[in-house]
A and B are shown apart, each in its own frame.
Chain A
Amino acid sequence: DTGVSQNPRHKITKRGQNVTFRCDPISEHNRLYWYRQTLGQGPEFLTYFQNEAQLEKSRLLSDRFSAERPKGSFSTLEIQRTEQGDSAMYLCASSLDTRTGGNTIYFGEGSWLTVV
C-alpha cells in the first residue's frame, strides 16, 4: 500500500483557467476527504465522500468547485474559472468509516495550486 496519492503535485495556471486534481486513496478506505490549506493556516474542510456519495460540502466550496468520486475509488476536484484566491494546497485524505471506531485519517502529499 503506497498511501494516499495526489497529482499533479504542483500546478501553475492563469486566472480564468480550469484545473483538475486527482486523488487515489488507500485502497480499502471507503471515506475520502478534500481539504484546503493556505500558508500559516491549518487545513480547512471542503467536502467528503462515503464510497461514491458526496455527503457534505463546506460553504467554502463555491459553485466553481466540483468534486466527484464516480466509482467509490479515486476522486477528482475541479476548479473552474480559477481566481487568485484559489491559490493554496489542496489535500486529499482517506479513512475507514470513522463512525464505528474513529479510525485514523491519512493525508496525501497535497497538490499546490498557484493562480497567476
Chain B
Amino acid sequence: KQEVTQIPAALSVPEGENLVLNCSFTDSAIYNLQWFRQDPGKGLTSLLLIQSSQREQTSGRLNASLDKSSGRSTLYIAASQPGDSATYLCAVNFGNEKLTFGTGTRLTIIP
C-alpha cells in the first residue's frame, strides 16, 4: 500500500530558528512530491514541487529535498517567523494521477 507519513504531528520552535519537517513514503517509484501549507480552516497553498529526477527545490527561505532511495523528503525553513505557523502537508504522486497526503505537521513559531 502506498502511504505517506509525517512525523512529528506537531512542532513548536522559537522565532528565528531554522527547522526541518520530515516526510516519508513507502514506494520509491514516485512521480513527484509536493509540499503544501494549510492555515486553519483554509485551503492548501503549494510551496514546492520536486520531480522524481530532482534532489531539491528552493523558494526563498524554503528548501525541499528528495531522497527516493530512502523514501524521504525534508522541508527546511530558515530563519522562522511567526507567520510561518501553519500545518505543513507532504503529498506524493505515485504515478497514478492523484496525490497521497500525509497527515501533516502543525508548526507553531513562538515569538
Which residues does A use to contact B, with CB under 8 Å? 4, 6, 33, 35, 40-45, 48, 55-56, 91, 93, 98, 101-110, 112
Contact = CB atoms under 8 A, between A and B. Distances in A.
Given A48-B97, A91-B44, A110-B43, A104 B49 contact: yes
Contact of A56 (B46, B91, B97, B100): B97
B43 A109 contact: yes
Contacts of A55: 97
Contacts of A44: 101
A102 B97 contact: no
Interface of B: 4, 31-32, 34, 36, 41-46, 49, 51-52, 89, 91, 93, 97-104
Given A48-B98, A102-B49, A43 B44 contact: yes
Binding site secondary structure of chain B: strand
Contacts of A102: 31-32, 49, 51-52, 93
B97 A109 contact: no
A35 B100 CA distance: 10
B34 A105 contact: yes
Given A45-B99, A56-B98, A102-B31, A107 B46 contact: yes
Contacts of B93: 98, 102
